[in-house]
Amino acid sequence: MNKAEEELYYAMTQSDNSCFSAGLCRLILKADIVNRALLGMIYPDYVDAVEKYQMQLGYWEELCEKMEKKL
């Protein structure tokens, strides 16, 4: 689990750990394909985490389990 995945978890559970990072995750969730690609050039780990959240079955559940163990 990387920092981007942790911040995605905080953003989605409304327990923001970092205001900027949580906002970035929310922005990526809302971005169209062009803007998401541009954001991916600067924040590839964050875009990757968001795309896994949106498209990979079981990703969110696995992330929640990892975070529960960490906390």
pTM more than 0.95:
no
Residue type, 16: D
Q: Is the backbone of residue 2 left (phi > 0), alpha (psi -120 to 50) or beta?
A: beta
Q: What is the mean pLDDT of the chain?
A: 91
| Residue 18 scores a pLDDT above 70 | no
Q: Give the model's confidence band at 17: pLDDT under 50 very low, under 70 low, under 90 confident, else very high.
A: low
Q: Does residue 59 or residue 17 have the better pLDDT?
A: 59
Q: Give the model's confidence band at 14: pLDDT under 50 very low, under 70 low, under 90 confident, else very high.
A: confident
The H or E element spanning position 9 is helix 3-12
Q: Where are the domains of the chain?
A: 3-70
CA dihedral 17, 63, 55, 43 (to 10 degrees): 40
